[in-house]
Amino acid sequence: MKRIPSRSVLGPALALAFAPLPLAVACGGGNEAAPPPVLPAATATASAATTATAEPVASGPLDTKRLPRAEFNRLAMLVNQPLFWTSDANGNGALDPNELAVFWGLVPDTKAGAKLGDWVSGGNFTSAFRTTYEAMVHRSESGPKTEKMGSPSEILRLAAVEKELSQGRQTLVATDLSKATEEQKNIVKHVLRAAEIIERLYAMQAGNTEVRRFDDPASKSLFFRNQSPKCEAPLTQNDTNCRTSVDPINKKLSGLYSESIMKQDHFCEALSKLADKQIMDPFTVVRGDAMAPKAVPYTTEYAKDMSAVSAELAAAANEIKSPAEAALKAYLLAASKSFTDNAWVPADEAWAKMGVDNSKFYLRIAPDEVYSEPCSTKALFHVSFGLINQASLKWQQKLDPRKTDMEKALATLAGAPYKARAVSFKLPDFVDIAVNAGDSRPAFGATIGQSLPNFGPVANEGRGRTVAMTNFYTDPDSLAATKATAESMFCAATMKDFTLDPEPQLMSTVLHEAAHNLGPAHQYKVDGKTDREVFGGPLASTFEELKAQTAAMFYAEWLVEKKDIERAYADKSRIRDVFWGFGHISRGMYDEDHHPKNYSQLAAIQFGSFLADGAITWNATEKAANGADVGCYTVNLGKLPASVKKLMKVVAGIKGRGDKKGAEKLVADFVDVQGDKKAHLDRIRERVLRAPKPSFVYSVKFD
């Protein structure tokens, strides 16, 4: 999986020609203690705030020039409303009814969700919108007002919450299904209902459902965005005032392990050494205590909600009458069954058979990735849903004949005991995402590539499916922000080879995801042990991602040698990869619980290694390409391929041999650093964090 932290600022929507299912991307810019929250049931309805009558405003036009677009989108989150000003299409500086969108999830409702009709009717704003707009204007002028504002601690908490929210910039991914067939609309409606239940399942896995939370609007929005009562943005993640919980949280939250087990020192390591391998099976929770832990299947622990997901998937399958969507129907039925029996292989088999040639849709709904849980072992529930983009065919045709040779090349670098194996994985499909939910909906950024499944025969036999998400970060203002950040980091000579063309980075994503299926991967065993058993979950995750991302850079040169791409194209790709690493370095190496940030650590290892080899140099007195910052980095393209190959050999060898000490040494050398090495990481962090991070929200229009 490849997640990218690109920067996003306010800007117009970018329309994607995908008729009849078009998408667009646009970007923007009382606190009584609540009882333990009850997350929305499967039959919940929209909140009263968003279910007002659809009567048009009758008392004259509303002056919507009082809030600039950036301020409107910022305030919408502060007042906890699912509203987004997509673009000032006519340039009049005012929000017009046809420029308003309502995004999914903030107001849960498995039947419909927040509806645009609650806010706009007959081409006019409704009374509900007028009331909300005036409240937003008042909030802009007066700041937060709650019953406990006299409390110094509450003033500090609300200020920290607002600072946390300000480090993100709402970015809308909009899907217009108004011209879709009724069959297609009904499929999507059932998937969206399932997605809301998945969010509830993910919340239970994360241990968030029993936390008492404040119910002021900003705190509600922050909990929705972060899917956690804790703060995650770089400038506030360690601020003890920054939280949405009533009580400070000084421990790692998780609903996957009994609290008594989590109190044990090094509990993950202790559980992994037990003879009962079901304890660390990815599809179980661990109950009992440290002396007598017990594995409980997901379908037992989460029976009610998993059954509800199953019902929605079966209903979606029942809507399909078109033979053209037979593959999707087969997957929906298989996944529906998996949500009742906890047997995920049949669903994986059906999912792996889907692709660019047999469905218009992309859907993955399952427990899959493990990175965000304490032991990096338990699979977390998520939904990724969108539309297949036919542009993937070009890369599939180019790389498909090369897969065996790509495996041999990586095996040669890994050395003994690893041996090249037969691989039959699918090269990435390109997907325009419509909705992400659960573990696929991070507070900041978005996954731009993913290889699944992670477990079972489909993964072990190299028959997995790989996708690249192509409709994130492509709007004009996101590109402008990317350029500005790059110009603050790179010297002028390197900036000449920096490109905003998405194609070179898309190639890198394709190669990264392909590499998850090549060489010593998650299920490869050394002396009968998988990488998680050898390295431990967090370190195993870091090194699998380090392998994949370094392989993406290695294969770029390999494709040049095969004359499949031009050197200039490979150079642009690698410079974007270095820049991608800067973004992850800016996030810090660990979260507030000292859980490793896998992508940040891989980026630091790459950067430190390239710097040591002279493939990247720091020019302390030279001005950056923006002409303002003093000191900048040069990527020495003549040295970079050899440095990449050297690191690839080290990393592949570590994974192939199960060399935990070698892995820990790389972390010590380039992640847990002080002095000049730390100064580089701090400098990168400061410059990259000048711009807010994109925080994606999703809108699906049916009418």
**Residue 638, C-beta contacts closer than 8 angstroms, at least 6 positions apart:** none
3-state secondary structure of 609: helix
Residue 373 maps to a domain: yes
Q: What is the pLDDT of residue 540?
A: 94
- Say how far apart CA 460 and CA 473 lie, in whole Å: 33
Mean per-residue pLDDT, 403-426: 94
Residue 260 maps to a domain: no
Q: CA nearest 450: which of 391, 494, 496, 515?
A: 515
Q: What is the pLDDT of residue 50?
A: 36
Q: What is the pLDDT of residue 6?
A: 35
Give tens-digit pLDDT for 68-122.
999 999 999 999 999 999 999 999 999 999 999 999 999 865 444 578 999 999 9
Q: How many of the other CB atoms lie within 10 Å of CB of 141?
A: 8
Q: What sections of 391-536 are H helices per DSSP?
A: 392-399, 403-414, 457-460, 476-489, 492-495, 502-515, 531-535
Q: What is the pLDDT of residue 151?
A: 85
pLDDT of 18 strictly over 70: no
- Say how far apart CA 507 and CA 556 lie, in whole Å: 8
Q: CA nearest 449: which of 382, 384, 497, 352?
A: 384
Q: CA nearest 372: which of 239, 219, 253, 536?
A: 253
Q: State whether 237 and 339 are in the same domain.
A: no
Residue 11 maps to a domain: no
Q: State whether 375 and 241 are in the same domain.
A: no
Q: What is the pLDDT of residue 48?
A: 31
If you average pLDDT over each of 248-257, 278-287, 510-519, which comes out highest? Answer: 278-287
Please report which confidence band the pLDDT of residue 598 belongs to, taking 50, 70 and 90 as the band edges: very high
How far are the Cα atoms of 274, 489, 591 from residue 30, in angstroms, in the given order? 49, 43, 30
Q: State whether 230 and 362 are in the same domain.
A: no
Q: State whether 440 and 351 are in the same domain.
A: yes
Q: What is the pLDDT of residue 661?
A: 98
Residue 203 maps to a domain: no
Residue 254 maps to a domain: no
Q: Say what the pTM is.
A: 0.81
Domain extent, residue 341, equals 303-696
Q: State whether 229 and 362 are in the same domain.
A: no
Q: What CATH number did the domain enclosing 553 receive?
A: 3.30.540.30
Give tens-digit pLDDT for 235-269.
999 999 999 999 998 878 999 999 999 999 999 99
- Report DSSP state, residue 213: B
Q: State whether 373 and 228 are in the same domain.
A: no
- The CA-based angle 682-171-40, given to 5 degrees, is 110
Q: What is the pLDDT of residue 461?
A: 84
- Say how far apart CA 238 and CA 592 lie, in whole Å: 6
Q: CA nearest 106: which of 225, 233, 188, 226?
A: 225
107-121, 391-405, 501-515: the lowest-pLDDT one: 107-121
Q: What is the pLDDT of residue 7?
A: 29
| H-run or E-run covering 11 | strand 11-16
Q: State whether 243 and 351 are in the same domain.
A: no
Spacing of C-alpha 245 from chain mean position: 23
Mean pLDDT estimate for the chain: 89
How far are the Cα atoms of 3, 373, 482, 579, 592 from residue 234, in angstroms, in the given order? 16, 19, 18, 18, 10
Q: How many of the other CB atoms lie within 10 Å of CB of 677?
A: 18
pLDDT of 124 strictly over 70: yes
pLDDT of 40 strictly over 60: no
Task: Pick the more confident residue, 548 or 460.
Answer: 548
Q: CA nearest 432: which of 394, 481, 474?
A: 474
Q: State whether 498 and 413 are in the same domain.
A: yes
How far are the Cα atoms of 55, 75, 79, 114, 316 from residue 127, in angstroms, in the given order? 7, 19, 17, 16, 35
Residue 189 maps to a domain: no
Q: State whether 238 and 314 are in the same domain.
A: no
Residue 565 maps to a domain: yes
Give tens-digit pLDDT for 199-227.
999 999 999 998 999 999 999 999 999 99
The two tokens of residue 355 are 């692709």
- Say how far apart CA 336 and CA 347 lie, in whole Å: 8
Q: State whether 424 and 564 are in the same domain.
A: yes
Q: State whether 245 and 314 are in the same domain.
A: no
pLDDT of 127 strictly over 60: yes
Q: What is the pLDDT of residue 477?
A: 66
pLDDT of 369 strictly over 90: yes
Q: Tell me what percent of the residues of the chain surpass a pLDDT of 70.
A: 89
| H-run or E-run covering 13 | strand 11-16
Q: Which of 204, 227, 249 is the last residue of a domain?
A: 249
Mean per-residue pLDDT, 619-634: 98
Residue 294 maps to a domain: no
Give tens-digit pLDDT for 654-673.
999 999 999 999 999 999 99
Q: What is the pLDDT of residue 396?
A: 85
For strands 23-27 and 168-176, give the pairing. antiparallel
Q: State whether 224 and 332 are in the same domain.
A: no
Mean per-residue pLDDT, 530-547: 93
Residues in the chain: 703
- Say how far apart CA 546 and CA 188 lie, in whole Å: 35
| Residues 605 and 589 sit within 8 Å (Cβ to Cβ) | no
Q: How many domains does the chain have?
A: 2
